[in-house]
Structure 1
Amino acid sequence: MVPNDIVLGDGVFAVGGVNIALTRGGGQFLVEREYRRIQADGDYGPVKGRIRKISSVAKLVMNALEILPASLPKFYPSVRNTNAAGPPITDTITGKVDIETADYNTTVTWTGKTKGGRNVVITLDNAINLENIDWALTDKDELVPQLTFTATYDETTRTTEPWKIVFSG
């Protein structure tokens, strides 16, 4: 028996349908869930039927080796890129007052394959990076910021989780 359903770790990250140029150190997909046990006197532990899901937050983390100035507003909310044609071409990155609708990326994806050749696509909907700009500037090393995108719920369907994993092929 050949283990064809092993998901391989190499793949392509995309933000808003645009592939991230280069990454280093891959990334991570996680769904952080919080559960609440409804406890009663005499319980020795969790009781079937008395556990509630309180929250579910899906995240896709990537380590971007190549930073394209035009992409920074997709990577960080409340950021603006002002481009001057030049010469020389100048990109100036500054902060904005607040988060705008345009700061949410319709989709953030990771596309990969299984050992057997099936496609695997992880998708976060209406994703935003809620982490701070935190760039380690280390002598003799490249800048590799970690981008952590969090899927956000739609106001009209607040109990529909905004993420999915699709295996196809």
Structure 2
Amino acid sequence: MPPLIPFKEITHHFAEFQHTAFRLETRRGYATDRSGARFQAFMGDTDPAPEPDHPWNVNVRAKAEQGARFSRVRIVDDPPTDGQRFLMATAAGNVDAGEDIRVLPRAHAEQLGLPNCDLWLFDSRILVRMHIDDTDTTIGVELVEDPGEVLDACRARDAALAAARPSAEVWARVRSSV
């Protein structure tokens, strides 16, 4: 395994990127979500309230005002897990702040040969590969600036964004079937 650094050591990229920040989410759920009150309320059939003043959304709005763009593709199972449903239910607040969030079925992601790991890609030149353990907890990240690996991530991003559907569209279908 490559040397890992704590996630907090790369968080400056979220404020400093100039053009694009892209996230690929491949997990069936995240420990940080499951431990939160919003997830517990969601599991009790309470819709998560938007959080426009959450620091994430404040930063997304600020970057959007500067002409920069956040986007992400969430790979989901059929049927989606509780964790994936929660992420779709909370996406509207992020989208309202200016983030482009899309959903892609896992089978389609596999056909496209997308990576099977979470990652961030900043300005098509810095790749952050997330290392997440079996409990869905981030144990560290790998900072990659190798041009070949970054190019592969750019190709994966482009394929994922082209194939994925808007989160709100997918959530409306999933929600009506639950």
Point out the structure with max Rg over C-alpha.
1
Structure with bigger strand share is: 1
The verdict on a shared fold, with TM-score over 0.5 as the criterion, is no
User: TM tier, shorter chain?
Assistant: under 0.3
Normalized per residue, the structure richer in helix is 2
